[in-house]
A and B are shown apart, each in its own frame.
Chain A
Amino acid sequence: MTTKRIKGFEDSYVVEGKMALPYTYFAGRVGSKFITTIRDQNKIMGVKCPACNLVYLPPRQVCDKDFTDIRDKWVDVSNTGKVENFTVVRYNDKHLPRKAPFVLALIKLDGADTPFMHILEECAIEDVKIGMKVEAVFAKETTSTILDIDHFKPEAEKISVHEINAARKQWVPVDEPDTEGKRKGGKPDMSTPVIITAALTGAATMRNQNPAVPYTPAEFAEEAYKCWKAGAAMVHVHAREDGGMATHDHERIRATHDAIKQKCPELIVNLSSAVGMGKTAEQRISQIVAVKPEMASLNTNTMNFGIVDRKTGKIFIDYVFENTFTMLQDFGKAMQENGVKPEIECYDMGGLDNAILIGKQGIFTDPINFNFVWGVAGGQQFRAEAFIAMMNALPPKANFTTCGVGTDEFPCIMQSCILGGHMRVGLEDNIKMPNGDLAKGSYELVEVAVAIANALGRPVATTAEARLIMGIKKR
């Protein structure tokens, strides 16, 4: 093979050669965790530098800006993000991951501060835009490399509740007398925004039932934030220890409450005053007084609260949930004195009557907010007519929301929404989606509630509207 013929260089020519050498790459602990989490859990994780507050993706052991060791500062980032920049590869080469033409995009995932490069597909090249929302598509066959994310694709169009709310007129209360006739058989007011509450954990839902159950304050904050993004105006919280046990420890409850408020300041946090099984009255109320959330649950009736086989009736746990009149009175007073708005939990009509009876002491202020709870072993099952009966028994100006254990969740919230009431969903009550799949988190259940509201044409309440409706003053 001869190239140039220059005098004196007649003997010069070009030889084809090749270099082929085996090598091994060690990803190290940080890199390995990044890849195995993508591979095994389809979850993308970065590391956050506590010194400069940047979330690095891909993760690294050291922050190159300030040299801080950040190898164990793991944070979840979203599988979705925005295209920061992109290029179209228009030549073929065996070292390239795809046949030309294809798009390589710099994608900044939601929750990360650094963009990283990946393939963008399922989208015509001319439609790729800077700023477009994309989501990760995970590979079916693993290579234990970054290609365990096979590619990114444009994110499915999902108009966020917040965008809709920003576009519509803010709801203002109409000062007209609330009559019994207005509700009883009457046309419910579908123009009032529906408040969606996410009950993140309860005391009993464990991670082996649904891995999305938060335990640590940071996990609560993250999950609460996702629920708010999905459309929830309030979260109901039972704080947990790292191991998952329900706790009455003030510091832990405060840390959990504060973490949520810090991550998502406008969200209403509703703490449980039941906490978990076997807690004393003092343990139950002192934490509310100490933390002073905007809202807290208030239970109305001493009742069975066990675990029973729904098919055979066999008793697994026989437990009496103690809520004496005295407790109802004392808790109610404590909440009133500390500016905590109670959410009155009614497991049956008797509970509702108890609250009205003890409420005659003047410990509740309008509007009183009730929650109808369905499907607890010891309480009543969901029945449409029972729901209407309870609604009709409410005092004037009262609000009602509802929640149902397991499969009771969806029918009861739908009925509530139809009747002008509000909706509570979340992993505390139910771990599955309507199709039986495990919910990825309480936020997915919030999305179901939003869909119900959309189907019925009811606006979803913003946090500000929720405060107005329930009579809560923002702290």
Chain B
Amino acid sequence: MAHKKNRNVGIIGIGQTKHSSHREDVNQPELIHEAVSLALKDAKLTMKDIDCVVHGNMELFEMVHSPDLWHVLGTGAYGKECIRITTGGTVGATISCASDNLVASGMYDIVMAIGFEKLQEGHTTGGITNMACPLWFRKIQAGALTGSSAYDVEREFGVERADKASLTYRIIMDKHAGLNPNAHRAFGLEFSQIDDLIRTSPKLVGNLKLIEMCSQSDGACCVIFACEKKAKEIAKTPVWIRDHITVHKEENFNIFGYDRKFPVLKTHKFAAENLFKRNGITDPINYFDVFEMYDPASWWAIDWIRDFFGLKGDEHLKLIEDKEIMIGGKMPINPSGGVIGSNPIGATALIRVAEAAMQVRGNAGPHQIPTPVNHALASGFGGTMWTVMTMLEKELNW
């Protein structure tokens, strides 16, 4: 059974900044203001039309407590209801879910979701470290970085094939990012560089290389949600939110037993299976026209494609190797260039929803998929293994 909604909710406005590591020219509220202004312009609304603001980013990533206080200058929440939500890397997806719920419930007609991060200001790795239990894990973990996914894929498919698949995925993302004017990192990589990059890109942790890890970006994203009635009045092509699912699990710094007799719960797989089942989708890879996936590193990405679509054996690697995940391929993944291309963490998961919605609207710009997009999927990832998934539809016909 799908999520019960009192009324349908559509996305009617989208704005995001150019993501960059050189935003010394703006402070936090000023950066947010850029995205908010763009979203209002996109929806042809003013701040007066917004009933509620849902605002979020990572806790303490800029080392500022309760940033929503002074961010009012950028969010426009003066004299309005404003809710701050922070749930880790998923925060952007969570504020999208919350906004959807707030409108669907009938509480508000128009809700603005704002995700932001200025990673140049804080210390990502340090910030993430503080998420862990202070008595043990905080003192020994390596922040967000781990080589465990690389280890997994390499053990299953051999080092050579795994390395190549990871770099192929990475270069596809770079090519996508090259088409997205808002992307942070677009190096202009070529597939001919794969062997070279495997050899020369510095290792961060285990076999996770610098080139395979996401960037640290400054950026903000704003998405405006409206009830069906208002959405139809305001927007030419509202993008409908069909369903979303969130799955948490216990912290998992100590899952690395590698004993196949004791499989570890994989939240992406669990979430996807449940989401598709309750919406009656039996063949997700054919059902969806685009997937905006939260891919913090190419190793995770190639592993997770299997989980999200319930693929068997090496089907997921073949998708990558055959470049079917490219724009124009069978299952385009991250036409935006993904998280690897831009990662202002608190905005990142909201950007997945925003980019997927732009693909459905058909006005994503140079990175628009050429074929019609009727069904889109977006994922968020955070904590030590949490999942949020959002399904978007062009028509209200499910």
Interface contact A19-B25, CB-CB below 8 Å: no
For chain A, residues 1 to 48, give those with C-beta under 8 angstroms from any C-beta of chain B: 15, 17, 19, 21-31
Interface band, chain B: 20 to 34
A23 to B62, CA, bound (A): 7
> Looking across the interface, which residue of chain A has its beta carbon closest to that of B40?
A67
Taking the closest CB of chain A, its distance from the CB of B273, in whole angstroms, is 38
Q: Which residues of A contact B23 (CB under 8 A)?
A: 26
Complex contact A61–B123 (CB within 8 A): no
The A275-303 residues at the B interface (CB cut-off 8 A) are none
Contact residues in A for B130 (Cβ distance below 8 Å) = 19, 21
Task: Chain B residues near A132: list those with CB within 8 A.
Answer: none
Chain B nearest CB, measured from A356 CB (Å): 64
CB of B198 within 8 Å of the partner chain: no
The residue of chain B having its C-beta at the shortest distance from the C-beta of A19 within the complex is B130
- CB pair A29 B26 closer than 8 Å: yes
CB-nearest residue of chain B relative to A20?
Answer: B126
* Interface membership of A133, Cβ < 8 A: no
A26 contacts B27, C-beta separation under 8 Å: yes
Q: Which residues of B contact A62 (CB under 8 A)?
A: 29-30, 33, 73-74, 76
Tell whether A61 pairs with B29 under 8 Å between CB atoms, given A21-B63, A21-B130, A67-B76.
yes
A61 CA to B62 CA in the complex, in Å?
20
With an 8 A cutoff between CB atoms, is B158 at the interface? no
B160 sits at the interface (CB 8 A): no
Distance in angstroms between the alpha carbons of A28 and B30 in the assembled complex:
8
Mask, B14-33, CB within 8 Å of A = 1, is: 00000000011111011001
B73 touches A60 (CB 8 A): yes
- Is B123 within 8 A of A21, CB to CB? yes
Q: Is B134 an interface residue (CB 8 A)?
A: yes
Bound-state CA distance A387–B130 (Å) is: 81
Measured CA separation A61–B120 after assembly (Å):
20
Q: Taking the complex as formed, is A385 at the interface, i.e. its CB lies under 8 A from any CB of chain B?
A: no
Interface positions of B from 73 to 130, Cβ below 8 Å from A:
73-74, 76, 78-79, 118, 120-123, 126-127, 130
Q: Is A127 an interface residue (CB 8 A)?
A: no
Looking at the assembled complex, report how far the CB atom of B114 sits from the nearest CB atom of chain A, in whole angstroms: 14
Check if B123 sits within 8 Å of A22, measured CB to CB: yes
Closest Cβ of chain B to A206, distance in Å, is: 32
B121 & A23 in contact (Cβ 8 Å cutoff): yes
Residues A58-106 near B (CB distance < 8 A): 60-62, 64-65, 67, 69, 71
Question: Is B46 an interface residue, CB under 8 A from the partner?
Answer: yes
Contacts of A24 in B (CB 8 A): 120-122
Q: How many inter-chain contacts with C-beta < 8 Å in the A-B complex?
A: 70
Chain A residues lying within 8 Å of B63, measured Cβ to Cβ, are 21, 23
Residues of B within 8 A of A64 (CB): 72-73, 76, 78
For the complex, give the distance between the alpha carbons of A468 and B47 in Å: 54
Q: CB distance B24 to A26 under 8 Å?
A: yes
Which residue from chain B places its CB closest to the CB of A31 in the assembled complex? B27
CB distance from B343 to the nearest CB of A (A): 17
Contacts of B79 in A (CB 8 A): 65
Interface size of A by CB at 8 A reads: 22
Contact at A26–B123, with CB atoms within 8 Å?
Answer: no
Residue of B nearest to A61 (CB): B30
Q: Chain A residues with Cβ under 8 A from B27's Cβ? A: 25-28, 30-31
Given the known interface contacts A22-B126, A27-B27, A29-B25, the answer about A15 and B135 at a Cβ–Cβ threshold of 8 Å is: yes
Q: Which residues of B contact A65 (CB under 8 A)?
A: 78-79
Which residue of chain A is the closest to B72 with respect to CB atoms? A64
Q: Which residue of B lies closest to A27 (CB)?
A: B27
Chain A residue at smallest Cβ distance from B79? A65
Expressed in whole angstroms, the minimum distance between the Cβ of A248 and any Cβ of chain B is 41
Are the C-beta atoms of B73 and A26 separated by less than 8 Å? no
Residues of A within 8 A of B123 (CB): 21-23
- A17 vs B118: C-alpha distance when bound (angstroms): 27
Tell me whether B121 and A17 are in contact (CB under 8 A): no
B120 contacts across to A, CB distance below 8 A: 24, 26
Kindly state the separation between the CA atoms of A392 and B47 in the bound complex, as whole angstroms.
71
Chain A residues, CB < 8 A from B134: 15, 17
Contacts of B73 in A (CB 8 A): 60-62, 64
The answer for the CA separation of A24 and B119 in the assembled complex, in Å, is: 9
Of all chain A residues, which has the CB nearest B62?
Answer: A23
**What residue in chain B is nearest A17 (Cβ atoms)?**
B134
Docked CA distance A22–B62 (Å): 10
Q: Name the residue of chain A whose CB is nearest to the CB of B76.
A: A67
Cα of A106 to Cα of B60 in the assembled complex, Å? 28
CA distance in complex: A62, B30 (Å): 8
* C-alpha gap A307/B30 in the complex (Å): 51
Bound state CA distance, A31 and B118, in angstroms? 16
Residues of chain A within 8 A of B47, CB atoms compared? 67
> How far, in whole Å, are A29 and B29 apart by their CA atoms in the complex?
12
Q: Is there an interface contact between B29 and A23, defined as CB atoms closer than 8 Å?
A: no
What is the bound-complex CA distance between A273 and B326, given in angstroms?
75
Residues of A within 8 A of B62 (CB): 23, 25
Residue of B with least CB distance to A56? B73
Q: Are A21 and B127 in contact (CB under 8 A)?
A: yes
The residues of B that contact A30 with a CB separation of less than 8 Å are 27, 30
CA distance A305 to B91 in the complex (A): 74
A19-B134 Cα distance, complex, nearest whole Å: 9
Q: Tell me which residues across on chain A come within 8 A of B135, comparing CB atoms.
A: 15
Give Cα distance in the complex from A27 to B25, angstroms: 7
B130's nearest neighbour on chain A, judged by CB, is A19
Residue from A28, A67, A69 within 8 A of B26 (CB atoms): A28
User: Across the two chains, which residue of chain B brings its CB closest to A64?
Assistant: B78
By the criterion CB–CB under 8 Å, are B33 and A23 in contact? Answer: no
The answer to whether B126 and A21 touch across the interface, beta carbons within 8 angstroms, is yes
Identify the interface centre among A15, A23, A30: most chain B CB within 10 Å of its CB.
Answer: A23
What residues make up the interface of A, taking CB atoms closer than 8 Å to B?
Answer: 15, 17, 19, 21-31, 60-62, 64-65, 67, 69, 71
9 more A-B contacts (CB under 8 A) besides A19-B130, A21-B126, A65-B78? A23-B62, A24-B122, A25-B62, A61-B26, A61-B33, A61-B74, A64-B73, A65-B79, A67-B46
Q: List 23 A-B contacts (CB under 8 A).
A: A21-B60, A21-B63, A23-B123, A26-B25, A26-B27, A26-B121, A28-B25, A28-B26, A28-B30, A29-B30, A30-B27, A30-B30, A60-B29, A60-B73, A61-B29, A61-B33, A61-B73, A62-B74, A64-B76, A65-B79, A67-B46, A67-B47, A69-B37
Closest 9 CB pairs of A and B: A28-B27, A23-B63, A21-B126, A64-B78, A28-B26, A61-B30, A67-B47, A26-B24, A24-B121
